[in-house]
């Protein structure tokens, strides 16, 4: 059997795509390997969101080149594919910079991988960065139940791709293209297949997931809120999540779903990026700091214990100390349970990269450190706040010690516990006894009725 090694960078969408690429290659006789030096086919599924992420692919390709040579000396051929958003953004340029690459394929055409690989046998340097009209997901073979289950009890499911928001710092509208939603029937089919294979939790993913507006079986357009209601009916599925959302698309139906659907976990990742209205306008975010605060108030009114998470960019062109302090005060008001924060990175082809008043690197670094210190304090405070409470934990994998399992709380915190007699996939009530830096510890709350696998 031939072997394929897929390395994925960046977001969850890429992680999902990496699995779909492996699925597309299974009927071609490829089995997956986690050892790059065993692989006949190496796929780097790349990320273009910030410069650092994009440059990683070229250093990795240096290592791939050495490996390919070594394997050649042993008489073994290696095919090298660059997929994902760097592939989309740079196309042919990748082969010019790294001639070791055989195929460059964008995120919208990887369902054509088998055909592209055949073409690469005849001619080196095949590039496909089209945005084909057909639904790529409709052209991908499904993974077997055993394969699906081996990937874990928590799975991603893409419901929406692309973005029409055009935030001025962001490459996504260019690399992933226009916003498009999958049909409800296709999503329900895929979710049922996952549940039948033993998956207990599904995270719906999309670059702008709450902009979802797919056609329902009744011919009308469904919102994400309605889709979540439908998915919550699928037997076996205990938990639903979704990411990443835009404040503008946080509609009442979705907020109500957080109140009404027990399967929808009390967790919301809602990037705000900055707390200054001037900067938000320059970013073309189409919301102010106060509209963001009001959305958070509404969400908390619907679901008081919800854990909030966000993304931040510091040092966007023109950001002054006063602007930065507005971001600092927003985080004190909201108190996020977790967050991702980045220094602004100018991306070729985006409007903000052309702005004149770029912020010096030292200022960015200093602001990022200050922001992260407070965000981390809030995260730790949130984690400490769960100590003493009993929360449901989805058991996901073996823990650090014998007899231990590790799982996730509703708030996406990692929890370790002694779990004799329990299995991966069970959802159990756990009393949280301690909070470490990156995970919680807890004990099974023994109740009179058996609690395992309660959906």
Q: Does residue 250 interact with ligand SF4 by CB under 6 A?
A: no
49 interacts with, out of ligand SF4, ligand 5AD, none, CB within 5 to 8 A per kind: ligand 5AD
The one among 50, 182, 200, 287 contacting ligand 5AD by CB under 6 A: 50
Helices (H) and strands (E) in the chain, counts: 14, 21
208 interacts with, out of ligand SF4, ligand 5AD, none, CB within 5 to 8 A per kind: ligand SF4
- Kindly state the smallest distance separating residue 172's Cβ from ligand 5AD, in Å: 7
Residue 102 CA to residue 123 CA, distance in Å, equals 9
Is the Cβ of residue 173 or residue 225 nearer to ligand SF4 in the bound state?
173
Place of tokens 């719906």: 204
- Kindly state the smallest distance separating residue 273's Cβ from ligand SF4, in Å: 7
The one among 347, 364, 408, 416 contacting ligand 5AD by CB under 6 A: 347
In the numeric block, which tokens belong to residue 404?
Answer: 């231990």
Range in contact with ligand 5AD (rule: CB under 6 A) among 105-113, 156-164, 289-297, 337-345:
337-345
- Kindly state the smallest distance separating residue 18's Cβ from ligand SF4, in Å: 19
Q: Does residue 249 interact with ligand 5AD by CB under 6 A?
A: no
Q: Over the Cα atoms of the chain, what is R_g?
A: 23
The one among 311, 366, 376, 445 contacting ligand 5AD by CB under 6 A: 311
50 interacts with, out of ligand 5AD, ligand SF4, none, CB within 5 to 8 A per kind: ligand 5AD
- Contact predicate 270/229, CB 8 Å: no
The one among 210, 345, 383, 413 contacting ligand 5AD by CB under 6 A: 345
Is the Cβ of residue 52 or residue 96 nearer to ligand SF4 in the bound state?
52
Q: Which of residues 385-404 bind ligand SF4 (CB under 6 A)?
A: none
- Kindly state the smallest distance separating residue 48's Cβ from ligand SF4, in Å: 11
The one among 223, 273, 276, 439 contacting ligand 5AD by CB under 6 A: 273
Residue 312 CA to residue 269 CA, distance in Å, equals 12
Q: Does residue 272 interact with ligand SF4 by CB under 6 A?
A: no
Q: Does residue 207 interact with ligand SF4 by CB under 6 A?
A: yes
The one among 43, 44, 49, 417 contacting ligand 5AD by CB under 6 A: 49
Is the Cβ of residue 177 or residue 425 nearer to ligand SF4 in the bound state?
177
- Kindly state the smallest distance separating residue 272's Cβ from ligand 5AD, in Å: 9
Four-point Cα dihedral 85, 87, 90, 96, nearest 10: 160
Residue 325 CA to residue 314 CA, distance in Å, equals 11
Q: Tell me the number of residues near ligand SF4 by CB under 6 A.
A: 10
Residues in contact with 261: Cβ distance below 8 Å, sequence separation at least 6, in sequence order: 228, 229, 232, 240
For residue 241, what are the β-bridge partners? 203
Q: Does residue 110 interact with ligand 5AD by CB under 6 A?
A: no
Which burial class, exposed, middle or buried, applies to 423 when counting CB atoms under 10 A from its CB (0-12, 13-18, 19+)? exposed
Q: Does residue 178 interact with ligand SF4 by CB under 6 A?
A: no
- Contact predicate 405/364, CB 8 Å: no
- Kindly state the smallest distance separating residue 160's Cβ from ligand 5AD, in Å: 15
Is the Cβ of residue 107 or residue 410 nearer to ligand 5AD in the bound state?
107
Q: Does residue 170 interact with ligand SF4 by CB under 6 A?
A: yes
Residue 6 CA to residue 59 CA, distance in Å, equals 16
Range in contact with ligand 5AD (rule: CB under 6 A) among 101-109, 154-162, 193-201, 341-349:
341-349
Q: Does residue 379 interact with ligand SF4 by CB under 6 A?
A: no
Residue 318 CA to residue 353 CA, distance in Å, equals 12
Q: How far is CA 143 from CA 21, 151, 185, 190, 194, in A?
A: 10, 10, 18, 10, 9
413 interacts with, out of ligand SF4, ligand 5AD, none, CB within 5 to 8 A per kind: none
Long-range own/partner contacts, residues 321-325 (CB < 8 A, 24 or more apart) = 322/276, 323/274, 323/275, 323/276, 323/278, 323/279, 324/276, 324/367, 324/371
Q: How far is CA 64 from CA 1, 7, 80, 104, in A?
A: 21, 12, 8, 15
- Kindly state the smallest distance separating residue 164's Cβ from ligand SF4, in Å: 8
For residue 415, what are the β-bridge partners? 407, 440
For residue 438, what are the β-bridge partners? none
Other beta carbons within 10 angstroms of residue 428's beta carbon come to 24
Q: Tell me the number of residues near ligand 5AD by CB under 6 A.
A: 12
Interaction site with ligand 5AD (CB under 6 A)? 49-50, 169-170, 271, 273, 311, 313, 342, 344-345, 347
């Amino acid at each position: 059997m031939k072997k394929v090694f897929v390395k994925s960078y960046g977001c969850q969408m890429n992680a999902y795509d990496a699995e779909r690429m492996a699925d597309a290659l299974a009927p071609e006789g490829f089995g997956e390997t986690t050892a790059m030096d065993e692989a006949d086919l190496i796929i780097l599924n790349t990320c273009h969101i910030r410069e650092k992420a994009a440059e990683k692919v070229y250093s990795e390709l240096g290592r791939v080149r050495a490996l390919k040579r070594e394997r050649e000396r042993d008489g073994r051929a290696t095919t090298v594919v660059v997929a994902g958003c760097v592939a989309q953004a740079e196309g042919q340029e990748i082969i010019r910079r790294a001639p070791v690459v055989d195929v460059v394929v964008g995120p919208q055409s990887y369902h054509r991988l088998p055909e592209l690989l055949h073409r690469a046998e005849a001619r080196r340097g095949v590039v496909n960065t089209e945005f084909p009209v057909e639904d790529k997901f409709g052209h991908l073979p499904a993974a077997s139940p055993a394969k699906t289950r081996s990937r874990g009890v928590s799975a991603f499911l893409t419901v929406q791709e692309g973005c029409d928001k055009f935030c001025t710092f962001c490459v996504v509208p260019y690399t992933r293209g226009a916003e498009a939603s999958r049909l409800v029937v296709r999503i329900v089919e895929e979710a049922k297949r996952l549940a039948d294979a033993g998956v207990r939790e599904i995270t719906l993913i999309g670059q702008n997931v709450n902009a979802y507006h797919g056609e329902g079986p009744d011919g009308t357009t469904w919102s994400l809120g309605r889709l979540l209601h439908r998915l919550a009916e699928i037997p076996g599925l205990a938990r639903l999540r979704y990411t990443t959302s835009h404040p503008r698309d946080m509609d009442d139906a979705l907020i109500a779903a957080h109140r009404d659907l027990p399967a929808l976990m009390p967790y919301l990742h809602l990037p705000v990026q900055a707390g200054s209205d001037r900067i938000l306008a320059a970013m073309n975010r189409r919301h102010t700091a106060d509209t963001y605060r009001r959305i958070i108030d509404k969400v908390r009114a619907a679901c008081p214990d919800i854990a909030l998470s966000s993304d931040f960019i510091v040092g966007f062109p023109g950001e002054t100390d006063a602007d930065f302090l507005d971001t600092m005060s927003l985080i004190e008001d909201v108190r996020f349970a977790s967050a991702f924060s980045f220094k602004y990175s100018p991306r070729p082809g985006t409007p903000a990269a052309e702005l004149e008043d770029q912020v010096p690197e030292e200022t960015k670094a200093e602001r990022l450190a200050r922001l992260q210190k407070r965000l981390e304090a809030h995260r730790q405070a949130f984690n400490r706040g769960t100590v003493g409470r009993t929360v449901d934990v989805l058991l996901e994998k073996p823990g650090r010690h014998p007899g231990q399992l590790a799982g996730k709380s509703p708030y996406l915190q990692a929890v370790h516990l002694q779990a004799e007699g329990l299995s991966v996939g069970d959802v159990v009530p756990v009393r949280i006894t301690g909070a470490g830096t990156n995970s919680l510890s807890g004990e099974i709350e023994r109740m009179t009725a058996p609690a395992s696998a309660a959906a």
